Amino acid sequence: MPCGALTADLPFEEILRRLETQRPVAIAAFASMLVRLAEAKPDELLTTEPFVLNATSEPPYREPLALASVS
């Protein structure tokens, strides 16, 4: 994992805290996470202003095995 990398399974508040601490100049994230980060800006939950944002594709949805239908 690259230096300063965060995983999407962290609690959102922890992601915000780490981004505030790291103050990255570039963020690559799932498009849905970039939306959440943008929504945190007006509330000043995120004050960092990276120079580059890169939207990556979302992982495919996989139905949990416990809920999968068996034929």
Cα 25 to Cα 29: distance, rounded to the nearest angstrom? 13
The structural domains of the chain, with segments of one domain joined by +, span 12-57
Report pTM.
Answer: 0.72
Give the DSSP H or E segment for 55.
Answer: strand 52-56
More confident position, 42 or 8: 42
Q: Length of the chain in residues, anyone?
A: 71
Residue 3 — pLDDT band, cuts 50, 70, 90?
low
Instruction: Give, as one character, the DSSP assignment of residue 41.
Output: T
Q: What's the pLDDT tens digit per position in 33-46?
A: 899 999 998 888 88
Q: What's the pLDDT tens digit per position in 12-67?
A: 999 999 999 999 999 998 888 899 999 998 888 889 888 998 998 877 766 555 44
